[in-house]
A and B are shown apart, each in its own frame.
Chain A
Amino acid sequence: MTEIQYKVAKNIKDACILMAAADGKGRILAGGTDLLVQMKAGTQAPGTIIDVKKIPEMVTIAKTKGGFRIGAATPAAVIGEHEELRKTWPGVVEAINLIGSKQIQGRASPGGNLCNASPAADSVPALVAAGATVNIQGPGGKRQVPVEQFCTGPGRTSLQKGEIVVSLSLPARPKGSSDAYLRLIPRTEMDIAVVGCGVSLTMKGDTVVAARVGLGAVAPTVLLVEDAAKALVGSQLEDEALEAAAKACSAACRPIDDKRGTIRYRTKIAGVLLKRAAAIARDRANGISHTAH
């Protein structure tokens, strides 16, 4: 029988040393809501489990110069209760709060959701739209990667041997900005995104002056759809602009036919969600609140 080592890292340096020592068989344990399930299903057999929940920097939310730094292992429920974060990045928070059920929310973290590298991860399209960066530390020191470049395929990331994700940084927010995340699931709960769409907007009056769009579950990795953002910038979200942005989303899709949705359906829904999420983000930027789903 294979032995599994369980180690608790006291600090980030310690975690990196343990990870490097595990020789490619190390797995980070944050909430464990993916790792433990995968181990039970037999799809993951780690040599060493490195628990990072005792590292303060990895489980807390800090304000930085105008922005936020979210520890990678911070539970989704903690993020959902952070008043200021919720006000500034409602789309990011609502996306993170869709990772799993209520019970899962107490453990699941955005860092875990990102490192699981599922194209259908709920938090990632919103983080992509937000322009978040991933703070990585490893044997070679620290580095930063835009979130949309972090995953390289289903289940694959750009982490090098011994590297771990420490936190996620959200940039400073100009006035008149907000965001939204919508996903399509056939049910209302306990489901996985057939398509997920995050939209972040900065408005000046009625006009969009900056936009970013993230799209999930329509390609091997979550996409940053720059053409959709271009279609929105300068517009007042008129039907034509929304239609053009929706078309750009659909055009960016490279989905598969599977048990969760067809190519045709995913391609169409990408556009539908873009329009709806953009409308919510605009309302929020204008001070009209939309409760999370």
Chain B
Amino acid sequence: MSKAQYKWIGTRPDRPDGADKVTGRARFGADFNLPGQLVGKVLRSPHAHARIRSIDTSKAEALPGVKAVVTAADFPDQPNQIVPTGEMQVNLRDITRNIMAREKALYEGHPVAAVAAVSDAIAKQALALIDVDYEVLPHVIDVAEAMKPDAPLLHEHLITEGVNPPPTKASNIAKRIEFKKGDAAEGFAQAEVVVEHDYTTQAVHQGYIEPHAALASASEDGQVQVWSTTQGHFQVRGFCSRLLNIETSQIRVTATEIGGGFGGKTVVYLEPLAIRLSQKAGKPVKMVMSREEVFRASGPAPGGNVHVKIGAMRDGRIVAAECRVDMQAGAFPGSPVGPACMCSYACYDIDNVHIVGFDVVSNRPKVAAYRAPGAPISAWAVESSLDILAQRLNMDPIDLRLKNAAKKGTKTAYGVTFNTIGMVETLEAIRDSEHYKAPVKPGYARGVAAGFWFNVGADSSAAAHVGEDGSVTVISGNPDIGGSRASLALMAAEELGVDYNKVRPVIADTASIGFNFVTGGSRVTFATGLAVVNSVRDLIRELKVRAAKIWNVDPDGVMWENGMAKPAGSNVGEFEPLSLAQLAAQAGRTGGPINGHAQLNVTGAGPGFGVHVVDLKVDHDTGIVGIGRYTAAQDVGTAIHPSYVEGQLQGGAVQGIGWALNEEYIYNTKGRLENPGFLDYRMPVASDLPMIETILVEVPNPSHPYGVRGVGEVPIVPPTAAIGNAIARATGIRMTDLPMSPPKLSEALDSAALKIAAE
């Protein structure tokens, strides 16, 4: 498919939400207010692990200005039951305990009560008046510690799943998973070179600039309205319905503009509390987290411990691979250890693979999704090991990967056989890039790494409405987090053959469009895009019916071309083409409003592959890494709006660089987070980085009319290893623990220097 065939797809018009966002008119979560609203605030556990003996809220309730107080007693307990809420699988017992601690506080920051009051100051005062009687328990933060048989136990009922026979004793290991292909032991027996290492990563936060915020208004008749900054307002509705025992039709959720989410806003924290407080107080309740609350109590991405063993022949062919991932789930089961395992070797065509993963709870906030959840953790280990292998074999790291690259027909260790994919093309794009061909500047070293993500389809609904002047409203139900309004409008304009500016995309609330799964998994441009295309096709079908009526011909005799109804052939008759505007003007006489609808469960998401290359220098005295040049290549399917595709690649790369160099959750001996703010949780700042160069490799997804693949996840997968690999080549030191922060790298450099001196 070449872009020449498209008029709108592949162009870079202004985004429909752009002007409002740059002028400050756009309304984000904390910008919504209602008359008479109260301020809601959460009392949080200061302890990492404590039994809650009792909570006395009487003094807080007696404080003038306090209108409602809630604790776990205000939420119905839930069964130990995994249910689909929307499309997410959640354990109701766990989620109700995460939004409000019940028997125990399981992490510092865990909510134990919430108040609604007439002012911020009174709400704060009320929190101080709540007496919680805690029995402080021993806590465990580290995954390896949490897996030990004598570790402090978070959940007395937790029996490891996936082990046969099932253990009789509870532990912090929620689940064991395993993937096998071929016979790894046999593969290693053949291998001429074996690389084996252990790696660790730390918990990192998505770092979205907008803290969680929600406004809820519960009416006396049982109806509830919620305004929330979320990646999925249908998910908010589903969770709240379950947790509060309210029918979904009684809850109407409007997604506000969203200031970043990266997966972290696919769950609920404040919304159920705000609704319950509003029900009790009889007034709207607004809740906004502070940055500190975001860090302590919203879901970061997990850290993990990874063991990797790779066996290869001298020519670079990998014959066996093993991976074991022990992953933090936070206080409740459900880490992304599954995708971490599945993604570990997905870039490569390897006959013998054995992967094992463990989902482990500890006294940390429950993890949430973060761009390609789990994948960066296993990729850090696998891609670093591949670089060691390349060095051992004296092979170019791109050539090694090309030799083993997955392609159409490759069967993955998790069972899926790839359709058309672009791993080879993406490797070649880097190999042939100006960056990779340019010699490495003196003082710098170069690293490369690859990454994979499945991408997601799932449920989407869309509608296309023609206005009386012939302009078009495209209605969907996914919060626009990365420019999806523009992409949806471009596809609608292309399909309909009208100007992009005649198409106005809107995001409807949960009562105004059919169900849509979250904005996540890089699904919106692909899946909701397909729903939009189908709704426009439905609209075109109706437009043809209307033209046929005007011409008094059979609808099959009408074709749609360049935004016009035309006779499909000379046998139909001689008619002047009818434009969308003309058809709209006559709609009242031809059958009323002209709308199109579509709803579907989308399958066939095309997986994405990324290859990154970085040139960096290491200050040997300080351990500070300076990024000189960075290029990210990715098979992006068809870039509908290339600027936003490039933006995804750049943003993912930058977050990955932060993960590699400085970002980490730091806990003290009491199990309290030491760095809950952007000063000491060090995300990269603009001056830290060069412009991230991008190469869009367009390998269209055959399962989408315009070849769309999700693009948002893959770019966070390669950076940590690309940087580690460059550091290894700059210094001769292989870093295996993230982050490669200045103190850590400096210490590694000094101990290596000492060793050399001793020799």
Chain A positions within 8 Å of B, measured between CB atoms, are 1, 184, 186-192, 194, 258-262, 264-265, 268-269, 272
Contacts and interface: CB of A to CB of B under 8 A. Distances in A.
Nearest to B679: A192
Contacts of A268: 746, 750
A271 to B, nearest CB: 9
Given A259-B675, A272-B622, A188 B688 contact: yes
A1 B121 contact: yes
A186 B750 contact: no
Contacts of B183: none
Given A187-B662, A188-B687, 18 more contacts: A184-B742, A186-B624, A186-B661, A186-B682, A186-B741, A186-B742, A187-B682, A189-B685, A191-B679, A258-B674, A259-B674, A259-B675, A262-B743, A262-B747, A265-B746, A268-B746, A268-B750, A269-B746
A194 B662 CA distance: 14
Given A259-B674, A259-B680, A260-B680, A187 B685 contact: yes
Contact of A259 (B621, B666, B688): B666
A189 B675 contact: no
Interface in B602-646: 621-624
A264 B684 CA distance: 24
Report, nearest first, the 8 A-B pairs whose CB atoms are least far apart.
Answer: A265-B743, A188-B687, A272-B621, A259-B674, A189-B687, A259-B666, A189-B685, A259-B675
B212 to A, nearest CB: 19
A264 B675 contact: no
Interface of B: 121, 621-624, 661-662, 666, 674-675, 678-680, 682, 684-688, 741-743, 746-747, 750
B747 A264 contact: yes
A265 B687 CA distance: 24
Given A1-B121, A184-B742, A188-B685, A265 B680 contact: no
A191 B682 CA distance: 8
26 contacts: A1-B121, A184-B624, A184-B742, A186-B624, A186-B661, A186-B741, A187-B662, A187-B684, A187-B685, A188-B688, A189-B686, A189-B687, A190-B678, A190-B679, A190-B685, A191-B682, A259-B674, A259-B680, A261-B743, A262-B743, A262-B747, A265-B747, A268-B750, A269-B622, A272-B621, A272-B622
Nearest to B739: A186
A160 B621 CA distance: 42
B127 to A, nearest CB: 12
A188 B683 CA distance: 11
A199 B208 CA distance: 40
A280 B47 CA distance: 48
A28 to B, nearest CB: 23
Nearest to A1: B121
A2 B481 CA distance: 42
Nearest to A271: B621
Contacts of B623: 265
Contacts of A258: 674
Nearest to B121: A1
Contacts of A189: 685-688
Contacts of A259: 666, 674-675, 680
Nearest to A276: B621
A268 B661 CA distance: 20
A186 B661 CA distance: 9
Nearest to B124: A42
Contacts of A262: 743, 747
Residue from the set A186, A191, A262, A264 with the largest chain B CB neighbour count within 10 Å: A186
B739 to A, nearest CB: 9
B622 A184 contact: yes
A260 B674 CA distance: 10
Contacts of B750: 268
A155 B459 CA distance: 56
B255 to A, nearest CB: 29
Nearest to B743: A265
Task: Determine which residue in A192, A259, A269 has the highest number of CB atoms from chain B within 10 A of its CB, and name it.
Answer: A259
Nearest to A273: B622
A192 B622 CA distance: 16
Nearest to B667: A259
A268 to B, nearest CB: 7
A42 to B, nearest CB: 8
B146 to A, nearest CB: 22
Contacts of B679: 190-192
B458 to A, nearest CB: 38
Contact of A187 (B622, B666, B674, B688): B688
Contacts of A264: 743, 747
Nearest to B625: A186
A191 B747 CA distance: 21
Contacts of B743: 261-262, 264-265
Contacts of B682: 186-187, 191
Nearest to B666: A259
Contacts of A192: 679-680
Nearest to B678: A190
Nearest to B620: A272
Nearest to A192: B679
Contacts of B680: 192, 259-260
A260 B679 CA distance: 10
Contacts of B686: 189
Contacts of B621: 272
A269 B624 CA distance: 11
A249 to B, nearest CB: 13
A186 B662 contact: yes
A17 B159 CA distance: 69
Nearest to B661: A186
Nearest to A195: B622
Contacts of A265: 623, 742-743, 746-747
B293 to A, nearest CB: 13
Nearest to A258: B674
A197 to B, nearest CB: 12
A265 B684 CA distance: 21
Contacts of B666: 259
Contacts of A269: 622, 746
A191 B683 CA distance: 11
